[in-house]
Structure 1
Amino acid sequence: MKKITDSNLLNSIEELTNCFGAPGFEEDVLEIIKTKVNSKSIKTDSINNLYIGLDEVEDNKPIVAFDCHSDEVGFIVENINPNGSLTFLQLGGWYVGNIPAHAVLIKNRKGEFIKGIVTSKPPHFMTPEELQKLPKLNELTIDIGTSSYEETTQLYGIEVGNPVVPDVKFSYDEKIKVMRAKAFDNRLGCIAVIEVLNTLINKDLNINPVGIISSQEEMGLRGAEVAAKRVKPNFAIIFEGSPADDTFRDGNASHGALRKGLQFRTIDGGMISNLRVLNYARKIADEKNIPYQLIAREKGSTNGARYHISGSGIPTLVIGIPTRYIHTHYSYASLEDLKSAIKLALEIARNITKEEIESF
């Protein structure tokens, strides 16, 4: 098996997490991924899905899809005010308390990036009532430093509909092998798909591995719905930057801790896991000494929610990489957890058979 080096992984993670990829505006992410995959078959569709290896499938082998989503939570410009500030709508699920006083990047029609800050009224000007409550989303604006509509539009080319993402740069702590960045949800999944496909290329397998980099997951799993119908895989493995809970739950109450292995979802807001699939994955993980955690989530979902009910039903496994503070500007994730997720997917790909897939 190909050796995955930390330095190569980290370089790729840095490049992809620093990249701009709001829902519906994933092109920059896809262009980077195209340069990193060793496949002759790379296609996109009208919704910004990227398909890797789809034209290379052999008819007598089942298709196993390795899926992730390329988009990150962000915003979109809704209006430009007379004072030059921007009102905006959210792209993906945000808690309003995490939005004010943070730096953002706006991408204009020319592809230029303009820095801004989400406004926060100084407490000196707040009424006692304002000090006791969170602002509403429609009360927030983005300030790029201008003072008029004309400056914002003419000097910086900002228009209604321009996408916005957090302005955050990747960093890595070698002492604890923990990374900090934006967009771990789900550029970590993108890295996993790239590494899995590149390792499996030209290998003698019982399956057809197909990579799917899907779009607009944060807006209702839209890309995955299209991809599942187009590819029609026999089995789907979904990689996800999955919310960690170890900073607000202690001991055995925490099921999604950093540096304790990948996550298997038993249930979330969109899917109840197929027990036969889950037991198979756990068996492989146990045999190969791959650490994992079992989680049950009331809310949230992954692309698995679309795959497992597509067509006549697709057996689906969700492999999560625990990530602290997803859907905010800054997240933490463990390099070792990511490597565990990649290793498990590779072991499944190298060992699974058509008969085992049919047994699911």
Structure 2
Amino acid sequence: MDKKRSLQLLEKLSNANGVSGFEDEVVHLFSEAVKDLGEVTEDPMRNVYVRRRGNTGHRPVVQLDAHSDEVGFMVQAIKPNGTLRFVTIGSWAPVNIPAHKVRVRNRDGVYLPAIITSIPPHFMTAEQKKAVPKISDMAIDVGATSAEEVKNHLKIDIGAPVVPDVRFEYLDHRDVMLGKAFDNRIGTACLADTLRELDGQDLDVDIVASLSAQEEVGERGAQVTVKKIQPDLAIVFEGPPADDTFSPEYMIQTGMKRGPMLRDRDTSIIVNPRFQKYVLDRAGAKGIKAQHAVRTGGGNDGAVINLYSGAPTIVLGIPVRYAHTPYSYVAFEDYVSALKLTVDVLKSLNAEVIGRF
């Protein structure tokens, strides 16, 4: 792999604006990154399909999936004082929202800087200082003083998407990336790099990649992509929340710099145990770091793909510290391990192997 190329793609994807339903920037970046690797198409939902160059149409079909959207917000109403009432897009903890910088898209498509409001401590009561803030009590401040200014001068409408305003950084001395939206721009980049690593390779399976929209609001895009692709097997790239900064050692199952996490179970899926074991065994045989996890929450596109197609499915996640907040860390070595493991598995697959799952 070309580390410089990968980091450049990761930077562009992390910085891109793309809450659920507004993934256009991410779709463009991904499509440009893979345009020379196969037939690239897009549907009206902004799902992207890449049919790998070299597919024959007469072999088992492997769907590689990642989702393009990120968690964020949407403008619900404009208050008389010029602040914006909003709702969340995707899952947020209210305590992580106030006092952060965001970007609000206006009707010209320009993203304007703004701040999520917070009451200065000087004006807080003792009870307010202890209480968890309610989202319904928050607002977005674009620096205006009236609703008329917001509507007519700034051109902000109800329904405008809002994203955290965070810029990507690569911390070379720690080989760690810092940025927003690694759930799931890290998976998006790994999907593109997997196709590039396989370019020109002889395989015994056909590969169709899907960059699915609207995962954070109910795996909606994957419900469309799986029906079009009709896979015989699936690998889903994710950016799962890391647990190594708050869990006891024996409970750490998604630790940074411990390799990709293969999820045994969450509330949406129990992965195919035979396929899961096959991948973990190959990781061990190749000396690639990997970990697996049993989760009591969460959900992902793998559940939809498995449910609609019945195809053996695994979820391969690159650990993201502080997912679903404005700022996240990802170790580049985990990204590399995920890429190496996926490429190795895909090279090993054929109809007979898949039939054993």
What TM-score does the superposition give when structure 1 sets the normalisation length? Answer: 0.96
Q: Which residue, out of 37, 40, 57, partners 1:39? A: 37
Q: Secondary structure at the match of 1:41?
A: strand
What's the offset of the Cα at 1:314? 1.2
Q: Secondary structure at the match of 1:158?
A: coil
Give the stretch that moved more between structures: 269-278 or 197-206: 197-206
Structure 1: 4+ residue segments shifted above 6 A: none
- 1:328 counterpart residue number: 325
Report the Cα distance in structure 2 between the residues aligned to 1:77 and 1:136, rounded to whole angstroms: 16
Q: Which residue, out of 13, 22, 26, partners 1:25? A: 22
- Which residues in structure 2 correspond to 1:1-360 (within 5 Å)? 4-37=1-34, 38-53=36-51, 57-311=55-309, 313-360=310-357
Q: Secondary structure at the match of 1:341?
A: helix
Letter in 2 for 1:260: R
Letter in 2 for 1:351: S
Report the Cα distance in structure 2 between the residues aligned to 1:322 and 1:343, rounded to whole angstroms: 16
Letter in 1 for 2:340: K
Q: Secondary structure at the match of 1:134?
A: coil
Q: Secondary structure at the match of 1:242?
A: coil
Report the Cα distance in structure 1 between the residues aligned to 2:192 and 2:52, rounded to whole angstroms: 14
Letter in 1 for 2:70: E
What's the offset of the Cα at 1:351? 1.2
Report the Cα distance in structure 2 between the residues aligned to 1:86 and 1:229, rounded to whole angstroms: 39
Report the Cα distance in structure 2 between the residues aligned to 1:186 and 1:159, rounded to whole angstroms: 27
Report the Cα distance in structure 1 between the residues aligned to 2:58 and 2:355, rounded to whole angstroms: 14
Letter in 2 for 1:264: L
Report the Cα distance in structure 2 between the residues aligned to 1:56 and 1:259, rounded to whole angstroms: 34
Report the Cα distance in structure 1 between the residues aligned to 2:57 and 2:128, rounded to whole angstroms: 64
Give the stretch that moved more between structures: 119-128 or 182-191: 119-128
Deviation digits for residues 51-107 of structure 1 (CA, Å, limit 9, x no counterpart):
011797423111111100000000010011111110011100000000000000011
Sequence identity percentage = 40
Letter in 2 for 1:6: K
Q: How many residues align?
A: 356
RMSD between aligned residues: 1.2
What's the offset of the Cα at 1:269? 1.2
Deviation digits for residues 117-167 of structure 1 (CA, Å, limit 9, x no counterpart):
000011221222222211211110000111011111111110000100100
Letter in 2 for 1:228: V
Contact in 1 for aligned 2:52/2:195 (Cα 8 Å): no
Instruction: Flag structure 2 segments of 5+ consecutive residues without an equivalent.
Output: none
Note closer, same or farther for the CA distance 1:174–1:54 as it changes in structure 2 (3 Å cut): closer
Report the Cα distance in structure 2 between the residues aligned to 1:193 and 1:297, rounded to whole angstroms: 24
Contact in 1 for aligned 2:53/2:199 (Cα 8 Å): no
Deviation digits for residues 10-34 of structure 1 (CA, Å, limit 9, x no counterpart):
1111011000000000001011111
Contact in 2 for aligned 1:51/1:212 (Cα 8 Å): yes
Report the Cα distance in structure 1 between the residues aligned to 2:93 and 2:195, rounded to whole angstroms: 35
Report the Cα distance in structure 2 between the residues aligned to 1:54 and 1:163, rounded to whole angstroms: 33
Q: Secondary structure at the match of 2:308?
A: coil
Report the Cα distance in structure 2 between the residues aligned to 1:39 and 1:264, rounded to whole angstroms: 27
Instruction: Flag structure 1 segments of 5+ consecutive residues without an equivalent.
Output: none
Report the Cα distance in structure 1 between the residues aligned to 2:140 and 2:221, rounded to whole angstroms: 29
Deviation digits for residues 276-313 of structure 1 (CA, Å, limit 9, x no counterpart):
011110121112111011111100011111011113x1
